[in-house]
Amino acid sequence: MIEDFPFLRPEHQFRVAMCVEYRGSGYYGWQIQKTGVKTVQAELTEAISRVANEPVDLIVAGRTDAGVHASNQILHFDTSSYRKEYGWTSGVNTLLPNDISVQWTHPVDTGFHARFSARERAYRYIVYNAPMPSGILRDGLTWERRDLNLERMQAAAERLLGEHDFSAFRASNCQAHSPVKDVRELRLVRQGRLIVLQARANGFLYHMVRNIMGVLLAIGRGDKPVEWAREVLEGRDRNLGGITAPAAGLYFVRARYDRKDLPEREAGPAILDGFSGLGEV
């Protein structure tokens, strides 16, 4: 009942959390740009503001860059407009392009912050390892024609686990205050023609997952030895690393919070439903 939550009453400013899914192929990343290019944040801000009948500012758990997708992106906004959860979700979805979709909406107290309350974030990177590229899922996968050695890639990934200075895996224009991150999982699983990297950490630097995958792909092809991953890490120099893996295979799949009231969904993306070996995210 609304009477049980004073911050939900129409006469008060209150906070709303949302989970959104989007295909990033047609967008210049999450964040609104001064140049006016198409971004996910711009589309959502316009749609939510229309449903709220007032301007809103969106705060997001993880700002994805150009071409990167999300299956469980979390955001929040403050508004003085009261809408039921279904009203927010369905109303906003009717105003969005078909490559962005709100999955759920939930009222939260003002102590919740989509970015700063997140204690962990997770990404999945999908590689299509086959002689020829996929004609159907090309925008959602990264194609690698050469056969990849999963055991070598996993051994290299384990050299990167733990809390380290990841300067060698951050883009030159990364704006993070510190390059030190705690990487808690780098798990690689193969099923059929798909190889998936599942990455969990307390936070990620700009291009960090794509740069890690670039190193792992070089090792999986046999171009570099397994120990090269650790050498790149300890060198703390981006120039020592490999190429940045393409954006098409990367998905933001989870932000974890110390609260039990937020709805849960499968990590996704949906093409991985039933994919064995990844475990919980």
Domain with CATH 3.30.70.660 in the chain: 122-252
Give the start-end residues of each E strand in 28-169. 59-60, 69-79, 100-108, 118-129, 142-144, 162-165
* pLDDT exceeds cutoff 50 at 7: no
Selected catalytic residue, list 4, 65, 109, 223:
65
What are the tens digits of pLDDT across the range 188-241? 999 999 999 999 999 999 999 999 999 999 999 999 999 999 999 999 999 988
Model pLDDT, residue 184: 98
What are the tens digits of pLDDT across the range 57-87? 999 999 999 999 999 999 999 999 999 999 9
Q: Which residues of 192-221 are buried (b: 16+ CB within 10 A; e: fewer)?
A: eebbbbbbbbebbbbbbbbbbbbbbbbbbb
* pLDDT exceeds cutoff 50 at 4: no
Helices (H), the chain: 40-52, 85-93, 150-158, 208-221, 228-235
Model pLDDT, residue 11: 56
Domain with CATH 3.30.70.580 in the chain: 7-116
Model pLDDT, residue 2: 47
Model pLDDT, residue 81: 94
Rounded Cα–Cα distance for residues 88 and 84 (Å)? 6
Quick one: fold of 122-252?
Alpha-Beta Plaits (3.30.70)
pTM tops 0.75, yes or no? yes
Q: Is 65 a catalytic residue?
A: yes
Model pLDDT, residue 42: 97
Model pLDDT, residue 142: 97
**CA-CA-CA-CA torsion sign (272, 273, 277, 280):** positive
pLDDT band at 1 (very low <50, low <70, confident <90, very high): very low
Mean pLDDT across the chain: 94
* pLDDT exceeds cutoff 60 at 8: no
Give the lowest-confidence range in 5-9, 95-99, 237-241, 242-246: 5-9
Pick the CATH number of 7-116 from 3.30.70.580, 3.10.580.10, 3.10.180.10, 3.40.50.150: 3.30.70.580
Structure tokens at 99: 């490559």
* pLDDT exceeds cutoff 90 at 279: no
Structure tokens at 22: 């989007």
Task: Tell me if 166 sits within 8 A of 180, measured CB to CB.
Answer: yes
Give the lowest-confidence range in 68-77, 90-99, 165-174, 182-191: 165-174
* pLDDT exceeds cutoff 70 at 10: no
pLDDT band at 41 (very low <50, low <70, confident <90, very high): very high
Rounded Cα–Cα distance for residues 205 and 156 (Å)? 19
